[in-house]
């Protein structure tokens, strides 16, 4: 479980000071933020594996300028430093991961005088901060060379405003729908018309024919216009810190270049060309998905656990391979069967495994991979009867492939996070056995020969029969 700390410090420097702590743990010891100088215009603390926010209120009485001095050093995790006004508008001073930032007589120019607060947000962060601030006079910014003027932009709004609406590489397009999900909240108002024109309508096929169907009839309403507006209206207010951390991935990963590089590599390695439509967006709580229903409805949900600078590399490689393979699967006799989806998912895992030079644990489920190998014979024996069946006839294999929730799992005692992905493992192992038998690059045969022939020539069933 993740360690969590939530500490809120509220103080009004001019009139009064009040500090409040609220700490929660998930059974793991963590250190509390230590802030002893709560009555001064400064913040000083060390922290260890901390997640939470620290805020201090202040007032600009005579000018709209703030003078900053000090340092923030984070050795692990993510932090951001921002200023918020009473309307909820936020200006990002800095947000970094695993870095040290120093402030030396830096002037922050805010829109006007009035009440503000400084926010420090931490996500699984370790390190310390020690800095102070004070109101600066209007003539200070032009007075001498000892001061540097630091103009800051509004946090999320200016950050996403410069992002392209879409990225096109060959016949593949990524729609950056998250851009307008955020911009719809600028000026402290919710622009439902922007959500309709810039988010919903350009991706209507994905919402109507994929997301609106896979989560069931009742939950599908969340992806129709009225339901869509409802949760998007609360999106920024309810998840501001999480959204900031997810946007921070864009500071360390160039999505455009990553997409282009992976697409070119997939096409070069496989000898296949791909086409499809993707959407990158923030989905409603508890309805996250990486993947899609077909090549015209691929979804990358930024709220998902895999949307981070470490995992996104694997994610793109995996999903791009799906788009390359789908047109081939559509033409195969068993493309729309348990065998088809098993080889589809298994090939995406296997491609990532060789392309990123991973070992089996990295390609599959870390320490949980051993559980799958121990239960390999059981997994195959229970899913084999459904290999040549469609979803209607063979629900269990679709259930253990994460493509149906219309039946109960038939394989027990498996960690919940991999319960819906057993066919990924099964497909990966079929391909591994085929390669052992036919040579290093023979996995590419799956693009050119019938699925049934590939499976039968893998020798996997015979291998399982002999396995103890």
pLDDT of residue 94: 63
Length, in residues, of the chain: 468
Residue range 405-446, pLDDT digits in tens: 888 889 988 888 788 899 999 999 999 999 999 999 999 999
Identify the residue whose tokens are 């455009």.
Answer: 256
pTM: 0.61
Judge: domain 7-151, CATH 2.60.120.380.
Answer: yes
pLDDT of residue 275: 80
pLDDT of residue 269: 84
C-alpha distance from residue 427 to each of 115, 272, 340, 464 (Å):
59, 20, 9, 13
d(CA 122, CA 47): 9
Cα 186 vs. chain centroid, distance in angstroms? 23
Beta-strand ranges (E) seen in 239-355 are 275-281, 290-292, 298-301
pLDDT of residue 314: 83
Q: Partners of 69 in the beta sheet?
A: 132
pLDDT of residue 69: 84
C-alpha distance from residue 14 to each of 21, 41, 58, 133, 180 (Å):
21, 10, 7, 14, 39
The residue ranges of the chain whose pLDDT is under 50 are 1-40, 144-154
Run of H or E residues at 43: strand 42-60
Identify the residue whose tokens are 């709560």.
Answer: 38
d(CA 122, CA 115): 23
Query: 335 — phi, psi (to 5°)?
Result: -65, -35
- Cα angle, residue 433 at apex, residues 432 and 438 outer, rounded to 5°: 100
- Cα angle, residue 104 at apex, residues 102 and 107 outer, rounded to 5°: 110
d(CA 32, CA 50): 8
pLDDT of residue 139: 66
pLDDT of residue 55: 83
Could you state, in order of their start, the residue ranges of all structural domains in the chain?
7-151, 155-324, 332-468
């Amino acid at each position: 479980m993740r360690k969590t700390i939530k500490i809120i410090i509220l103080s009004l420097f001019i009139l009064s000071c009040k500090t409040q702590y609220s700490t929660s743990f998930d059974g793991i010891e963590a250190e509390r933020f230590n802030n002893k100088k709560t009555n001064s215009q400064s913040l000083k603390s060390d922290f260890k594996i901390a997640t939470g926010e620290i805020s201090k209120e202040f007032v600009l009485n005579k000018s709209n300028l703030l003078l900053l001095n000090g340092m923030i050093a984070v050795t692990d995790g993510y932090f951001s430093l921002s200023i918020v006004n009473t309307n909820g508008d936020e200006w990002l001073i800095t947000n970094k991961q695993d870095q040290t930032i120093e402030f030396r007589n830096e002037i922050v120019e805010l829109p006007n005088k009035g009440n503000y607060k400084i926010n420090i947000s931490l996500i699984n962060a370790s390190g310390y901060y020690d800095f102070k601030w004070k109101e600066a006079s209007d003539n200070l910014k032009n007075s001498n060379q000892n001061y540097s003027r630091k103009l800051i932009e509004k946090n999320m709004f200016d950050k996403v405003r410069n992002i392209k609406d879409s990225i096109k590489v060959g016949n593949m397009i990524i729609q950056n729908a998250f851009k307008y999900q955020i911009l719809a909240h600028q000026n402290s108002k919710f622009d439902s018309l922007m959500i309709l024109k810039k988010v919903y309508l350009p991706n209507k096929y994905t919402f109507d024919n994929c997301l609106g169907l896979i989560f069931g009839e009742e939950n599908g309403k969340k992806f129709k216009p009225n339901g869509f507006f409802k949760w998007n209206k609360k999106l920024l207010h309810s998840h501001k810190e999480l959204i900031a951390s997810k946007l921070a991935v864009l500071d360390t990963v160039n999505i455009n270049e990553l997409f282009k590089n992976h697409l070119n590599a997939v096409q070069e390695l496989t000898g296949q060309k791909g086409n499809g439509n993707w959407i990158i967006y923030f989905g409603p709580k508890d309805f996250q998905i990486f993947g899609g229903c077909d090549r015209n409805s691929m979804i990358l949900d930024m709220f998902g656990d895999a949307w981070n600078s470490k995992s996104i590399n694997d994610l793109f490689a995996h999903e791009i391979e799906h788009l390359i393979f789908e047109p081939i699967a559509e033409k195969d006799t068993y493309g729309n069967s348990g065998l088809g989806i098993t080889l589809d998912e298994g090939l995406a895992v296997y491609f990532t495994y060789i392309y990123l030079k991973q070992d089996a644990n990295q390609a599959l489920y870390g320490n949980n991979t051993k559980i799958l190998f121990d239960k390999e014979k059981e997994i195959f024996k229970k899913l084999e009867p459904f290999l040549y069946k469609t979803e209607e006839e063979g629900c269990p294999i679709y259930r253990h492939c994460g493509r149906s929730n219309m039946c109960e799992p038939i394989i027990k005692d498996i960690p919940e996070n991999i319960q819906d992905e057993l066919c990924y493992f099964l497909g990966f192992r079929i391909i591994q056995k085929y390669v052992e038998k036919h040579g290093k690059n023979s996995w590419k045969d799956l693009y050119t020969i019938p699925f049934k022939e590939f499976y039968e020539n893998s020798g996997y069933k015979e291998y399982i029969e002999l396995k103890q």
